[in-house]
A and B are shown apart, each in its own frame.
Chain A
Amino acid sequence: MSLPQRLQPSEPARFPCGSYTVSANGSVVVSTLPASFPRVMMEVIGKVVLSTFSSARDLDTPFIELAADFAGVEVRARDLNGGAIIFITPQEY
């Protein structure tokens, strides 16, 4: 018996594995992610990462590395003098 469409749990996205760098203004510089992974998504992730690094620096707590663990993906980032290198690793959901 299938559930009505609106009650079905949303299917988690399938993530590719790869990395990319963002500049201090958030634009993507270089990427090893497949072209199917939208650039706009990379930029949104980059924006959240850069904003976290920056707000932590404002509290005198600079970070060199950051990781966000979601059920379906790990987003890991390293600070690159204001920019960042971001690693995307799919997780078992």
Chain B
Amino acid sequence: MANAVKSWSPLEVTSLNAAGCGPVIDPEMIPSTTLPWRDKRKVLILDDDREFLDLYKKIIGRLPCRPDVQVADTGARALALLDAEPFELFITDLRMPKIDGFQVLLSARRRFPDLKLVVITGAGNEQYRARAYASGIDLYTEKPTTPAEIRIFGECVEALLLKGEKDGGFRGIQSKSLMDLVQIECLSRNSSLLRITRGSLEGRIWILNGNVIDAEAGGMRGEEAFKHVFAWKTGNFELLPGDPDRERTIFNSHESLLLDSAQMLDEAIAAEDEAEQKVLGISRDLKPLATVRGVESLLLIDEDGKTSTWGVANPEGFAAWTHRVLRDFQGLGEMLKAGPLKAVEAAGPVRGVALLTDGARKLMAGMDRKMTVRFIRRAGMELASFLQRE
């Protein structure tokens, strides 16, 4: 393993984005055994601009590998979709009104380490670019405006989608966590210097005959530095020759060090999850519902009258309205002997709405304003099936 230079998260894309995105990969040149066309690659695009989403869905959907392209116009919906099914590539804008694209990127990188990330933005800003690459993205590009730029962008996306297949086993090493790397080095009783970089940050871990003997990062040394580096979720690593003369500052076994660090990381992740949910404003109960196409906001009133909401501007007002409308229509159904009320759907210039109840719980889903009552009904049926599953 010594003298190897590898990446444990983002792919190196310099060969792709420089000088016209590098060589175009011809799918015909790749053996068919490495291209399981039947298992379509899934691509998710996030942007607040609907027209952009429609256009890029078409462009990417027509690439030679014919990926399955899904779109989201809010960060919360994108994260909900990523949670719901395995995507291979996530393309996002950085500037969106309700959510910071960086926040979505960081969340996606942390939660889905194998996911390839592409930033496509109208803001050609070097600081943005550096910050995006430090977040562990695979490609940063400005929104293409000419047919030639669109073609090149398509080729880059195609290349990224095919890259995992071409790299074969190497990608397995790339996706190893820092914990795996330290364990491999220690259990193999190797002597090496592990140099880890994350953007402008740098850390070093010295291993001698399978023992972690020293670490340095951010002006810290010893165990403190080791734990500091361990908290980085993405980055690049280099395995350099060990230094037998290095002064030993760490005397704990590597198992003990890793256990402590993993515990610390779990606690940090739990705290981040909580913070993230507060920021994104979506509870775990509502996440699957948010994946239904066209859903833009949710309000769920449980049997005890407790309300969970996501993206609802006036929760009290809409909770009372949901109660009243469902009660009125249920009363009307009883009077008419019309049988049980399945749903109430409404379409309007601001938003559409689907109202559902399973008797105990009441759900209001705010829907895309472009949806007709017929489409809202379809979404309502999907929402009802999620409610029944719980």
Residues of A near any B CB (own CB < 8 A)? 10-13, 15, 41, 44-45, 48, 51-52, 55-56, 59-73, 75-76, 93
Report whether A70 and B336 are in contact in the complex, using a CB–CB cutoff of 8 Å.
yes
Q: Among the listed A44, A59, A67, A93, which residue makes an inter-chain contact with B317, where contact means beta carbons less than 8 Å apart? A: A59
User: How far does the alpha carbon of A70 sit from the alpha carbon of B165 in the complex, in Å?
Assistant: 51
Interface presence of B130 (CB below 8 A): no
Stretch at the interface among B94-102, B133-141, B322-330: B322-330
> Once the chains are docked, how many angstroms separate the CA of A4 from the CA of B55?
63
Chain B, interface size: which category? 20 to 34
Of the candidates B337, B339, B353, B377, the one whose C-beta lies within 8 Å of that of A63 is B353
Considering the complex, give the chain A residue whose CB is closest to the CB of B334. Answer: A10
Complex contact A76–B373 (CB within 8 A): yes
Give the complex CA separation of A15 and B346 in angstroms: 22
A65 to B374, CA, bound (A): 10
- Looking at chain B's contact residues, the main secondary structure is mixed
Chain A binding surface SS class: mixed
Please tell me if the beta carbons of A59 and B336 are within 8 angstroms of each other in the complex: no
B-side residues, CB < 8 A to A, are: 314, 317-318, 321, 324-325, 328-329, 331-333, 335-351, 353, 372-373, 377
**CB-based contact B329/A64 at 8 Å:** no
Partner of A71, one of B314, B328, B342, B346: B342
**B341 and A63 form a contact (CB under 8 A):** no
Q: List 27 A-B contacts (CB under 8 A).
A: A12-B337, A13-B337, A15-B336, A44-B332, A48-B328, A48-B329, A52-B329, A52-B344, A55-B321, A55-B325, A59-B321, A61-B351, A63-B346, A63-B348, A64-B348, A65-B346, A65-B348, A65-B372, A67-B346, A68-B332, A69-B341, A69-B343, A70-B341, A71-B339, A72-B338, A72-B339, A73-B339
- What residue in chain A is nearest B351 (Cβ atoms)? A61
Contact, CB under 8 Å: B373 / A67: yes
Say how far B299's CB is from chain A's closest CB, in angstroms.
12
- From B344, which residue of chain A is reached at the shortest CB distance? A68
